[in-house]
Amino acid sequence: MDTRWQHTTVLLNEAVDALLAQDPGAPPRAGTFVDATFGRGGHSRLILSRLGPGGRLIAFDKDLEAVAEAARITDARFSIRHAGFREIASLPRGGIAGVLMDLGISSPQIDNPARGFSFRGDGPLDMRMDTTRGETVASWLAHADAAQIAEVIRDYGEERFAVPIAKAIVARRQERGPLATTAELAELVARTVKTREPGQDPATRTFQALRIFINAELEELQEALEASLDILQPQGRLVAISFHSLEDRIVKQFIATHSREVYDRRAPFAAPRALRLKSLGRVKPSAAEVAANARARSAIMRVAERTPA
Ligand SMILES: C[S@@+](CC[C@H](N)C(=O)[O-])C[C@H]1O[C@@H](n2cnc3c(N)ncnc32)[C@H](O)[C@@H]1O
């Protein structure tokens, strides 16, 4: 286990209090909970410390390094699955007391240049969370056409210069062969993006976009949210922490859709379709947390409760 790469958990107490539906110091909780994004286990360890002997925690992570870290937890109430969190759909229907999703990448993933997530430092242009399957960014950029690349960079990076960046990637591929490293991509973007946002590396948006695309992050989030409705028991909690607006929009709309009473226009006097969630609002990190951990700056946690319907 490489201890150079540490992760500081964001909204640690807030998320666990919300998930367990209890204040700190309350008696231990019973029930089966899910940590859909184990990472380095900050949330998982606190959850376990507040579960009673009959409690269970099932964790998921796509990343083998996260799974290796989880193997260090020797608590019979805990288990880890090396899988995308859409696999929560395989858990017993109505059998889960709470699902936590702390989305995106962990600090160990971004800080280790060998994983290819960062424009700082140099490494292979990989960006897969699960290195045992799927296509790397380098491989995809070697065959995708300019229109596909531009669409990804525009839609997932909200990058104004998506078209010139995509054209530059394809031109470079034709002239000198495909991009292989993070530094090559970062330099190409820096040469192509003319105006820079203050305090932001010109490659930030492009790297974010490619990472979201190659890991199918938004599709898997949508699927896992849908699955949570089936597996949560009445009053079970859904807690999701997002780090950028695309993720947060999906979580927000999902909760809003299922918290709204739906009337059938063809049967205006019929009772509205039963709600499946009750929104319990959103929480942002305190100023003290943001001062101590810059990564917390963009975090938004949304909480909802499964209704009996
Ligand atoms: C922000 S970190 C979680 C940190 C964790 N809460 C902690 O305190 O250490 C996100 C983790 O979720 C994993 N992950 C992201 N998307 C995933 C998905 N769709 N399925 C499974 N794991 C995912 C990443 O590999 C990463 O380890």
Per-residue pLDDT tens over the stretch 169-184: 999 999 999 999 999 9
* CA–CA distance, 258 with 92 (Å, rounded to integer): 21
Over residues 18-36, the pLDDT tens digits come to: 999 988 788 899 999 999 9
Q: Looking at this protein, which amino acid is placed at residue 190?
A: A
**Sheet of 78-82, strands arranged across:** 78-82, 56-61, 32-35, 96-102, 232-242, 300-306, 277-283
Where do we find the tokens 């009772």? Answer: 271
How much of the chain, in percent, has pLDDT values that exceed 70?
Answer: 98
Where do we find the tokens 């049967």? Answer: 267
Measured on CA atoms in the order 87, 90, 94, 98, is the torsion positive or negative?
negative
* CA–CA distance, 222 with 247 (Å, rounded to integer): 9
Q: Please tell me the pTM assigned to this model.
A: 0.95
What number of other Cβ atoms are within 10 A of residue 223's Cβ? 17
Distance from the alpha carbon of residue 38 to the mean position of ligand 1, in angstroms? 5
Q: Which atom, in ligand 1's list, is nearest to the CA of 37?
A: 12
- 261, pLDDT greater than 90: no
Q: Is 63 in the pocket of ligand 1 (CB under 6 A)?
A: yes
Best residue among 37, 103, 218, 297 to mutate for probing ligand 1's pocket (most ligand atoms within 8 Å of CB) is: 37
The answer to whether residues 253 and 260 touch, using CB atoms and an 8 Å cutoff, is: no
Q: Looking at this protein, which amino acid is placed at residue 238?
A: L
How much of the chain, in percent, has pLDDT values that exceed 90?
Answer: 88
Binned at pLDDT 50, 70 and 90, residue 87 comes out as very high
The least confident of 94-103, 127-136, 260-269, 275-284 is: 260-269
Average pLDDT on 24-51 reads 95
Q: 146-183: string of b/e by CB count within 10 Å (b at 16+)?
A: beebbbbbbebbebebbbbbbebbbebbeeeebbebbb
Is 9 or 199 the better-scoring residue by pLDDT? Answer: 9
Best residue among 13, 34, 129 to mutate for probing ligand 1's pocket (most ligand atoms within 8 Å of CB) is: 129
What number of other Cβ atoms are within 10 A of residue 49's Cβ? 10
At 170, list the tokens.
């394809």
3-state DSSP call for residue 81?
Answer: strand
Average pLDDT, the chain: 94
Distance from the alpha carbon of residue 163 to the mean position of ligand 1, in angstroms? 31
- 85, pLDDT greater than 80: yes
Give the bridge partners for 34, in sequence order. Answer: 58, 99
Q: Is 32 in the pocket of ligand 1 (CB under 6 A)?
A: no
What number of other Cβ atoms are within 10 A of residue 87's Cβ? 17
**Residue whose CA is closest, atom 1 of ligand 1?**
106
Give the bridge partners for 169, in sequence order. Answer: none
Q: Is 9 in the pocket of ligand 1 (CB under 6 A)?
A: yes
Q: Looking at this protein, which amino acid is placed at residue 288?
A: A
| pLDDT recorded at residue 240 | 98
The answer to whether residues 45 and 21 touch, using CB atoms and an 8 Å cutoff, is: no
Give the DSSP H or E segment for 56. strand 56-61
| pLDDT recorded at residue 200 | 86
Q: Is 40 in the pocket of ligand 1 (CB under 6 A)?
A: yes
Q: Which atom, in ligand 1's list, is nearest to the CA of 38?
A: 5
Cα 240-245-249 angle, rounded to 5 deg: 60
- 4, pLDDT greater than 70: no
Q: Which atom, in ligand 1's list, is nearest to the CA of 42?
A: 8
* CA–CA distance, 76 with 198 (Å, rounded to integer): 49
Q: Which of 136, 179, 55, 177 lies closest to 165 in space, CA to CA?
A: 179
| pLDDT recorded at residue 1 | 43
Q: Residue 117 — φ and ψ, nearest 5°? A: -85, -20
| pLDDT recorded at residue 244 | 94
Where do we find the tokens 């989880």? Answer: 70
